[in-house]
Amino acid sequence: MIEYKQVKKIYDGKTVIEGLDLTIDKGSFVCLIGPSGCGKTTTLKMLNRLIKNDGGQILIDGKDINKVNVTELRRSIGYVIQQIGLFPNMTVAENIAVVPKLLKWDKAKIDARVRELLKLVDMDYEENAGKYPHEMSGGQQQRIGVLRALAINPPVILMDEPFGALDPVTRDVLQDEVKALQEKLGITIVFVTHDMDEAIKMADVIVFMEDGKIVQQATPSEMVRNPKTKTVRQFMSKHREENGDVELVCKDLMKSNVFKVFSKRPIMECLGLMRMRDLNTVVVTDENKKYKGVAFIDDLIAQRDELSVVGELVKESIPTFGLVDDAKDAIAAITEGDHDYVLVLDGNEEVAGIITRGSIARSLTEVVWGDLSA
């Protein structure tokens, strides 16, 4: 397990990482992502002390990294960078064997490990072991860079935008290979990227950073469904646009004028408001306008003498979606589920709108025929 505890980093008097708390489970694949200058690479490099933290603690399996010999620390952590960094005067086998030689492994053990690693990525030993880096493609060189990081079977590997300079096809293949290796070997990978597609494809957990802080930490599916901030939403929107996988999102289907009541409103008042508007359910928020759930008129009537405020009868039975979630999911929740409507929440967990069968029909009509009211 890797733990960052209130970690701080200062450059030239400016705090670039502030109060960072992050736990990375053993055997997980975690992607650090965010805009340029957000602190993701600094966060990565503090883990092997290429950059020293100025406050807080960083622990690996309970040990403070600043109390471990720095050479031993770096030899125990694999490191892969975009520039690859193979030694041009060494063969493939010699490049892979750099750290094992430093650790004084015997020749037979090193040779066996090189053969084993090349086999993992379907590279024939006899054909490739004696090659020099200049005789290989960029993708092949990066494979060797990954294998070198794996040479002593480290529990942790750090990868700093390792595929950024590769063509899209090679990049896609290497992403698959690295993910397969990580799952097979059970190692922990901390991976820096600026590409949301890459993060969604590879990560178990995505950590989105902005201005030296973590603004969202979630699984890929959760981050797609519910981006928390404007910057995260922008990254997600770019991902959707580039993949062409969403033409309509939930905000395209919703009606924004949703009647809501605060959770502390008296039940009798709420019943009166619902009857005036002919509502069977009402959306309930807290005093900060954050969504709490819905209340049903039958429950309010049944409990009006025993309970006092509507918040005591809130249920979370209505599906919710984010503004840029795929509209197909919301439509399915209504047409295939037992729901008359679903709610759309913004990045602050406030109710942005409601999607009903009528709003779906209106929006789809406009897509096909254009705005009929124009």
Q: Residue 371 — pLDDT band, cuts 50, 70, 90?
A: very low
Which of 221, 243, 265 is the last residue before a domain boundary? 243
Classify 237 as helix, strand or coil. helix
Q: Are residues 168 and 259 in the same domain?
A: no
Asked whether 271 and 304 are in contact (CB, 8 A), the reply is yes
Q: Express each pLDDT in 269-327 by its tens digit.
A: 999 988 888 788 899 999 999 999 999 998 999 888 888 899 999 988 889 999 888 88
Q: Which are the contacts of 318, defined by CB distance < 8 A and separation ≥ 6?
A: 281, 293, 294, 339, 341, 342, 343
Q: Express each pLDDT in 158-171 by its tens digit.
A: 988 888 767 666 77
CATH of the domain at 157: 3.40.50.300
Asked whether 80 and 158 are in contact (CB, 8 A), the reply is yes
Q: Express each pLDDT in 216-249 by its tens digit.
A: 999 887 887 778 888 887 777 665 555 554 467 8
Q: Which are the contacts of 336, defined by CB distance < 8 A and separation ≥ 6?
A: none
Q: How many domains does the chain have?
A: 2
Alpha helices in 258-337 (DSSP H): 267-277, 297-303, 327-335
CA distance 204 to 194: 16
Q: Are residues 316 and 232 in the same domain?
A: no
Q: Are residues 330 and 365 in the same domain?
A: yes
CA distance 117 to 184: 13
Which of 243, 278, 300 is the last residue before a domain boundary? 243
CA distance 186 to 177: 14
Percent of the chain exceeding pLDDT 70 equals 92
Residue-range definition of the domain harbouring residue 210: 2-243
Beta strand 260-262 with 2-11 is unpaired
Task: Tell me, yes or no, whether 374 lies in a domain.
Answer: no
For residue 18, give both structure tokens: 């502030």
Q: Are residues 120 and 137 in the same domain?
A: yes
331: pLDDT strictly greater than 70 = yes
CA distance 41 to 57: 17
Alpha helices in 103-219 (DSSP H): 107-120, 125-128, 138-150, 168-185, 196-202
Return the H-helix or E-strand segment holding 225: helix 220-225
For residue 374, which amino acid is it?
A
